[in-house]
Amino acid sequence: MSNPKKKILVVDDLHYVAKYLSTVMSEAGYKVLTSSSGTEALTRFELFKPDLVTIDQKLPDMTGFELVNRLRTLRNGKKPRIVFISAVCDRETIESVLNLGIDNYLVKPVDKAKLLDTLKSLLEH
- pLDDT tens, 47-65? 999 999 999 989 999 999 8
Strand, helix or coil for residue 30? coil
Q: What is the mean pLDDT of residues 88-100?
A: 81
**What residue segments make up the domains of the chain, in order of their start?**
7-123
Question: Burial code of 20-52, b = ≥16 C-beta within 10 A, e = fewer?
Answer: bbbebbeebebbbbbbbbbebbbebbeebebbb
Q: Which ranges in 1-125 belong to alpha helices (H)? A: 15-27, 38-48, 64-74, 91-98, 112-123
Q: Supply the pLDDT for residue 72.
A: 83
Mean pLDDT of the chain: 89
What CATH fold (topology level) applies to the domain 7-123? Rossmann fold (3.40.50)
